[in-house]
Structures are given as structure tokens and as C-alpha cells.
Amino acid sequence: MTEFFTDVTERIPFEGPDSDNPLAFHWYDADRVVAGRRMEDHLRFAVCYWHSFNWDGFDIFGAGTLDRPWHPTFAPTADPLDAAKAKMNAAFEFFAKLGAPFYCFHDRDIAPDGGSFKESAARLDEMVDLAAEHQQRTGVQLLWGTANLFSHPRYQAGAATNPDPEVFAYAAAQVAHCLDATHRLGGHNYVLWGGREGYETLLNTDLRRELDQLARFLSMVVEHKQRIGFAGAILIEPKPFEPTKHQYDYDVAAVYAFLQRYDLVDEIKVNIEVNHATLSGHDFAHEIAAAVDAGIFGSVDANAGDDRLGWDLDRFPMSVEQMSLGMLEIVGAGGFTTGGLNFDSKLRRQSIDRNDLFHGHIGGMDTMARALLVAAAILEGGELAANRAARYTGWDGELGRSILDGTIDLAALHDRTVDRGEPVRVSGGQERLENIVARYVARVR
Ligand code: XLS
Ligand code: NI
Ligand code: NI
């Protein structure tokens, strides 16, 4: 097999924070035990096929720039399956050299559209056989598979939420096939991102019908999962907008309300993407905490946005502090089970060297590894937990308990308050707490 990433001949080593080698890990030390688990098992890193191998660097103003010789932009006359195989060789070479334990794909990332459903399905089957061999050879596992229900023109008005049941049926067939493929490859999860499950205007949209359709679609996915014996989790990926103006899966809270309404809450969890959280006006940590609280936390797409650009930029994560606050919620809740950290992250369009894909992932993995160390140290130090608990001690006293257990009512609280002075105010201490976090960020090794 001819190699693609020829500058990197060995697996990327761990060399520690003081190393100047740009093609080494400085923080991610797979075997290091942190809070009772190996780093690799905590972080469960996945490389995303889509952005890293399927995207040629095009944007709405210009053509592809990246060095992706299998892409139709650069190989317009190549046989699509040969190109897909070359892409897969390069992808698994990369996963293995990086030392990522997992990868993720859309059906169309690994197998090009064949013009008809039948031909597309046959191509997917062929590529899945090949992926199984690559997985076997490299030991890399599938974190999740997903069907692309947003790129093809047939999905212009959505897949499950399309006004035409023929499109719903097509999408259902595509998911059935992709879920089978994911099952065959031992996938740990199956993701549904509702890229076009939303709307542009109420002038042509029946919101209630579309929500009912989406719920029926998801119930069918759950039924199918059970029928084929797929043991992984089904995950919805919330995103507030882009490509549609109003997306139904706006954020974790909206997804949770939807799952409750349609009685799906025990069957489906969420895949939280950091920059989708930002776009919905939340912190990453908030979305994690909301999902943990609802019992629907599944997995994470670990990317980041840009402070000044309000779209899904999908940068590799570089902010240790932002990620530490997210990891604090994840580790505090007991860590990942089926999920992991998928780099749904893109290079910049000008990052055209083959090694840039390593640099992006090394930076992202080091950032998340350092965030894990910070989170574990904060949890072990216990100051934040003690502070938080201290704020609520009143609720363990007589008044707090009698409010919560219902022995005191509104009128009784009225009478009680008439005779009492003002409650004593105390500081929230946010700056002091932020300084504690900053201290951990600075000190962990
Ligand atoms: C797009 C989404 C997509 C999903 C998988 O914004 O993040 O990459 O993760 O379809
Ligand atoms: Ni994503
Ligand atoms: Ni995204």
C-alpha cells in the first residue's frame, strides 16, 4: 500500500510538555492513568472522516485548496470507487499514525453516491467490507456512523420533516442501510444530525406535522436498532441553525423536551458539539450539564467556533480553559460510556500541507488531554464542589426541607416572612472561583 502521509513514518509519540517537536504529543499520554482511567479510555478520541478526508477546502467563494487527490475536484475522471478506496487507505493510515482509537463517518463520506438507491447501497456495502478489513488491520474502531441526509438535492426541504412522504421513505431507507453498516462495523453509536430538519418560513411550513414526522422517523430508527440487535446508542446532535434558519433540535433542552413529548427519552441521547452550543447561546459546559441532568448525555463533537464569526467554523479546539470547564462536567458525571471526543473539526482553507492534518489533531488532542488533567485536578482538590455545596446549605436546614417536602405552603411562607428581616446576602464569589480554575490550568503537569 503506498503511503500518503510520508513525512510521518512512526506513530506520533508522547514527548511531554517541554518537547519542541511539533509532531509529538505534549499532553496526550494514552497510557497515563488519570482519575482511575487511562487517558485514552477517558478521552476516546475519534477522527472525523467528513471534514478531514472528504472536504477539499472549498468555500462558497472558491474551489478546493487542500491536497486531497482522491477528491473529484482533483481527480474528475477517476473511477469513484477507486477514489473512495484511495481515500480510505489514506484515512486509516492517518488514524493509525495519529494513534486515534476511533473514527466516524457519514455513509457518503466513505462511499460515493451511485446515482440510484440500489447502486449507492451496493457501493456502501463494498466500502464497508473494506473498512472492516482496515479496522481489523489497524485496531481502529468506529465511534459512530451516520447517514448524510442533507447534501443531496432531494433533501432540500428536509429528510424526516419533508412535506413529501416519498422523501421520508428514501431517508428511512438510507438510515436503515447505514445503521446496518454501522452495526456490521461494530459502531459504538449511531448519530442523527438534523441538518435540514427545520424550516425557513412558516409561510410554507406546518410545524406540528413536521415534528410528528420527525418523532415517527426516530421511533422507526429505534425499532430497527432493536430488530437488528445494535447495542450502541442512538444520538441526536443538536444545532440551532445552519443550514436551516430554525432547526428543531435547537439545543439539549429542546431535544429533551421533544424526546419527552414523544416518549423517546429512554431510547435516544445527545451528541453535543462545542460550537453548536456556542451558536445556541450556551457554554459548552452548560450543554453537557443539561444533558447529564436529563440523563441523555452521549458523546461530544469537540471543535470550537471563532469569537467574531457566527457560523459553524469547526476549528480544532485550542482553549484549555473552555474545554476544562466542559471536561469538568463530563468527568464529574462519571465520564463517557459509549461516547467519545470526535474531532468534527476542519483545517483552515490555507492549511494545505499534508502534515497540517496532524498538527490540527495533535493540538486538539493535547488541548483535551490538558483539559482532562485540569478537570481531574479540580475534582480532586474539591474547592469548587465545597464552595457550591456551601451555597445551598440553607436547603438542608428546616426551612429548605419544609419547602421542598411540601409541609409549608405559600400562605405559611407569607406569614413567616411578615415577621422576619431581610435575608442575608452573600457573595457569589465568581472571580475567586475563576481564579481557582486559572490556578489549576497553570499548574497541572
Ligand atoms: C454539522 C454537524 C455534522 C454532524 C454529523 O454541523 O456537526 O458534522 O456531526 O452529521
Ligand atoms: Ni458534528
Ligand atoms: Ni457542526
The Cα 171–Cα 179 span in angstroms is: 12
- Read off the pLDDT of each residue in 6-24 and give the average, rounded to a whole number: 98
pLDDT above 90 for 1: no
Residue nearest to atom 8 of ligand 1 (CA): 344
- List, as ranges, residues with CB under 5 A of the ion ligand 2: 273, 301, 344
- CA gap 113, 409 in Å, rounded: 63
pLDDT at 154: 98
Q: 33-381, which class in CATH? A: alpha beta
Q: Is the CB of 196 under 6 A from ligand 1?
A: no
- Domain definitions of the chain by residue range: 33-381, 386-443
Tell me, what's the pLDDT at 186? Answer: 98
Per-residue pLDDT, 304: 95
The model carries a pTM of 0.97
Confidence label for 385 from pLDDT (cuts 50, 70 and 90): very high
Q: For 171-208, write each residue's pLDDT tens digit.
A: 999 999 999 999 999 999 999 999 999 999 999 999 99
Neighbours of 18 (CB within 10 A): 7
Q: Among 168, 162, 246, which residue's Cα sits nearest to residue 202?
A: 246
- Model pLDDT, residue 104: 98
Is 56 annotated in the active site? no
Q: What is the reported pLDDT for 307?
A: 83
Query: If 0-12 CB within 10 Å is exposed, 13-18 middle and 19+ buried, where does residue 219 land?
Result: middle
**231 CB burial (10 A radius; 0-12, 13-18, 19+):** exposed
Q: What is the structure's pLDDT at 94?
A: 98
Average pLDDT rounded to a whole number, residues 224-239 = 98
Share of the chain above pLDDT 70, in %: 100
Confidence of residue 63 (pLDDT cuts 50, 70, 90): very high
- What is the rounded average pLDDT for all residues in the chain? 97
Q: Whose CA is nearest to atom 4 of ligand 1?
A: 193
Distance CA 302, CA 317 (A): 7
Neighbour-count burial for 91-107, b at 16+ CB within 10 Å, e otherwise: bbbbbebbbbbbbbbbb
304 CA to centre of ligand 1 in angstroms: 13
Contact (Cβ atoms closer than 8 angstroms) between residue 366 and residue 26: yes
pLDDT at 158 over 80: yes
**What's the grid cell of residue 331?**
468527568
Q: Which residues contact 101 (CB under 8 A, 6 or more apart)?
A: 40, 44, 45, 46, 139, 140, 141, 340
pLDDT at residue 341, rounded to an integer: 98
Quick check: 27 pLDDT over 90? Answer: yes
Q: CA geometry: angle at 429 spanning 423 and 434, to 5°? A: 160
SS3 content of the chain, % helix, strand, coil (to 5): 50, 10, 40
**What is the per-residue pLDDT across 278-312, written as a single tens digit (0 to 9) for each?**
999 999 999 999 999 999 999 999 999 988 888 89
Choosing from 29, 56, 107, 109, the catalytic residue is 109
Cell of 326: 466542559
- Mutation probe of ligand 1 site: the residue of 48, 178, 193, 234 with most atoms within 8 A of C-beta: 193
State the distance from the centre of ligand 1 to the C-alpha of 295, rounded, in angstroms.
22
| Residue 60 binned pLDDT confidence (cut-offs 50, 70, 90) | very high
